[in-house]
Amino acid sequence: MDEELLGCLVELQAIVVLHDLEQALDRQLRVVCQQQQDVLELERRRMTLVHDDEVRPFQHRAPRGLQQNWRLLELGHMLQLHAA
């Protein structure tokens, strides 16, 4: 086999290997990004629960109309979190 042809084959093989590595890294990056989004969503939920636990006891002492308004605010907040 010609020396120049052999060099081209080696270079081509290196390009293929690098391309495969690039694809593998891209897949890993997508997995990490999804995991980060999952962690952020869990943190949002945790903060919502902490907020609810801190505020909810006061809600039960409010007059009925204020309780209904409070529930509407909670539902709106949940919709905003879901949309984010």
> What's the distance, CA 30 to chain centroid?
10
Domain range holding 21? 3-83
Helix axes 3-59, 64-83, angle to 10 degrees: 180
pLDDT of residue 56 exceeding 70, the answer is no
Q: Answer whether residue 24 shows pLDDT above 70.
A: yes
Number of domains composing the chain: 1
Residue 29 predicted with pLDDT over 80: yes
13 is written with which tokens?
């093989």
pTM above 0.75, yes or no: no
Judge whether 32 and 24 are in contact, CB under 8 Å. Answer: no
Residue 40 pLDDT grade (very low, low, confident, very high; cuts 50, 70, 90): confident
pLDDT attached to residue 17: 92
